[in-house]
Amino acid sequence: MAIHDVLIVGGSYAGMAAALQLARARRSVLVLDAGQRRNRFAEHAHGILGQDGRAPSAIADDARAQLLKYPTVTWIETVARFVGRDGDTFRVQTETGDAFEARRLILANGVRDQLPDLPGLAERWGRSVFHCPYCHGYELDGGPLGVLGVNEMSIHQALMLPDWGPTTLFTNGIVEPDAEASRQLAARNVSIEAEPVAELAGEGEATVHLRDGRTVELAGLFVVSTLEPASPLAQQLGCAFEESPVGRVIQTDNMQATSVPAVFACGDTARAAGSVTFAMADGAMAGMAAHKSLIFGEAA
């Protein structure tokens, strides 16, 4: 079996940015990708210099076409299930039982968004229900906007949003702003709605139906999603994780090295507040760092 220089799990923005640096260093790179980009629910991606407003898939397709022109890149559409290590070599097994070996590993497998269990919410995710105002706030044309209270981070989200439009915080029986938070919300002109939310339904983009029968028409509803790693590989390897207010991310240093020698991580799986731009930057760093470690050793 050929031993690749680097095996990358995840072929989206972070994984491809890592692969590009390695391909340009003429190293053999194997990308295993399940094709489930986190932003696949959104029609357009925003806030990415030079790509603003393009479809997420168009950005990824162009990147992949450019990457696959390099002869040392191999791409396989599959799910990586298990990883083990034999001395200096990693062995990754896929869902179909195929196994691949490499001297360095880059985890770029992203995260899964855990959404609150509210009828009508999941099908609006990425269309009129969002987590990130920088990505989708501008397109909501000044509001009105809502924040669905799910945890203390919802207060932070509600304090941010008035720059994008008049904002209502639906506390939903879960979020209870203390005196200081109430003062801050009032200073930002955030309205508070204490009646629990029953569902999102109807013709409107994000029409909130309250339990008492009232409805509130919104241009967009924001919700804090809880993140979990999209693959178990980091855990199988024994990588250290960091707790963040939105979930666990793989701990990395400023070269994207994890706590496990020769394993690097980049993109959303290693950063709590991710974006395409950050994923690409972290991916480029991971690719360069993995390359340097092949030359100078793991501590390079």
Site string for ligand FAD, 230-259 (x = CB under 6 A): xx----------------------------
Closer residue to ligand FAD (CB): 7 or 158: 7
Q: Tokens 């994000």 appear where?
A: 206
Assess contact for 133 and 164: CB atoms under 8 A: yes
Which residues have C-beta within 8 Å of that of residue 297, sequence separation ≥ 6? none
Closer residue to ligand FAD (CB): 115 or 181: 115
For the segment 203-232, give every residue that binds ligand FAD (CB under 6 A).
Answer: 230-231
CB atoms within 10 A of CB 250: 27
Q: Which of 20, 25, 27, 39 binds ligand FAD (CB under 6 A)?
A: 39
The residue range among 41-49, 138-146, 212-220, 290-298 that interacts with ligand FAD, by the rule CB under 6 A, is 41-49
Closer residue to ligand FAD (CB): 79 or 255: 79
Closer residue to ligand FAD (CB): 9 or 239: 9
Q: Which of 14, 147, 197, 246 binds ligand FAD (CB under 6 A)?
A: 14
Assess contact for 91 and 104: CB atoms under 8 A: no
Give Rg (Cα) of the chain: 21
Assess contact for 10 and 109: CB atoms under 8 A: yes
Pull the structure tokens for residue 96. 């179909």
Answer yes or no whether residue 193 interacts with ligand FAD by CB under 6 A: no
Answer yes or no whether residue 158 interacts with ligand FAD by CB under 6 A: no
The residue range among 19-27, 109-117, 137-145, 236-244 that interacts with ligand FAD, by the rule CB under 6 A, is 109-117
Size of the site for ligand FAD (CB under 6 A): 39
Short-list 4, 93, 21, 103, CA closest to 63 = 21
Kindly list the distances between the CA atom of residue 79 and the CA atoms of 44, 85, 270, in Å, as whole numbers in the listed order. Answer: 26, 18, 19
Q: Which of 169, 237, 260, 276 binds ligand FAD (CB under 6 A)?
A: 276
Which residues have C-beta within 8 Å of that of residue 209, sequence separation ≥ 6? 197, 198, 199, 200, 201, 202, 215
Question: Which residues of the chain form contacts with ligand FAD (CB under 6 A)?
Answer: 9-15, 32-39, 41-42, 45-48, 79-80, 108-110, 113, 125-126, 135, 230-231, 267-268, 274-277, 279
